[in-house]
Amino acid sequence: MLFRRFEWHKDTNIFLILNGYCQTFDLQFRRTNFNNYLCRTYVTSTMNRQKDETQPSKEGILRQSVPYTELFFYQKADAIYRLTYIFCQRFLPKYGDRTVDQMVQAARSGKQNIVEGIEDSNTSTEMELKLLNVSRSSLQELREDYNDFLHTRGLARWTSEHHRYDAMLGFCKRHNKAEDYLSYANRWTAEEFCNTLLTLCHITDKMMCNYLARLEKQFVEQGGIKERMHAARTGYRKEQDELLKRLQTENIQLKEEVKRLQAEVKRLQERLAQR
């Protein structure tokens, strides 16, 4: 019963005292197994406790971002690029017209800068903002090319009063991927093609503006990579200081407990000597 009273004290010195205490009363323990049991209990409990106390903060330094392929404005930008290539093949001269290269490059820039911006977002919000704005500028340039094509060919720019405008707008809002449009790409007239691409460019730009607004708000609230690195380092050092303080307090308490047990063992030994 005396052994059960003390067996869960988590200090090596206490375990040694208990071992001697048990031998004093001639309890039937095998010394080797007894010491192994006490050491395993102490080491396991101490390591588990320290492992739990030193877990790193869940908030990482790198900002987590959605894969760019899952972003709707990227999907629309990809559709714009692929459709623009088909448009140039169908309605513009294959040679001698610089507009072809300019339109294809503008469409490609709109798509590729989204990819690079999102990939850089983990470490640099500033770079992400710059590249996404480059993407918007490229798509704006492409919109002007489609507008110019309509004006120079005497084709109509569809407005909300046009009888086909609402159906086209609804279709472009609902569908993001290029595969949704490719089946029509070889059947559209030049007017249908231009108005569809103008609508896609406008919707994509609006989506990107909303994304940039959220990104700006997030940057103001959470800061960039330098602020997150400082916060993570400061938080880690604070956790370590608190852990050290707790361990120092626990060490003092354990030393006091050792002294108390040593005094009790001494008292019991004196009682045995008097018998």
Spans of all domains in the chain:
64-223, 224-274
For residue 237, the model assigns a pLDDT of 76
SS3 assignment, position 229: helix
Q: What Å distances lie between residue 116 and 15, 34, 129, 195, 223, CA to CA?
A: 61, 63, 11, 28, 20
pLDDT mean across residues, the chain:
80
For 237-271, the pLDDT digits (tens) are 778 888 888 888 888 888 888 888 888 888 888 88
For residue 160, the model assigns a pLDDT of 94
Section 109-116 average pLDDT:
97
Among 9-23, 64-78, 86-100, 120-134, the least confident range: 9-23
Section 145-161 average pLDDT:
96
In the predicted structure, residue 118 carries a pLDDT above the cut 70: yes
What distance in Å separates the CA atoms of residue 274 and residue 143, rounded to the nearest whole number?
105
Q: What Å distances lie between residue 257 and 13, 34, 52, 262, CA to CA?
A: 10, 21, 24, 9
In the predicted structure, residue 273 carries a pLDDT above the cut 90: no
For residue 264, the model assigns a pLDDT of 87
In the predicted structure, residue 24 carries a pLDDT above the cut 60: no
- Say which residue, 141 or 51, is predicted with more confidence: 141
For residue 48, the model assigns a pLDDT of 59
For residue 243, the model assigns a pLDDT of 84
Q: What Å distances lie between residue 184 and 22, 87, 179, 195, 208, CA to CA?
A: 90, 11, 10, 13, 26
For residue 125, the model assigns a pLDDT of 79
For residue 60, the model assigns a pLDDT of 58
Q: What is the DSSP string of 169-219?
A: HHHHHH--STHHHHHHHTT--HHHHHHHHHHHHHHHHHHHHHHHHHHHHHH
In the predicted structure, residue 218 carries a pLDDT above the cut 50: yes
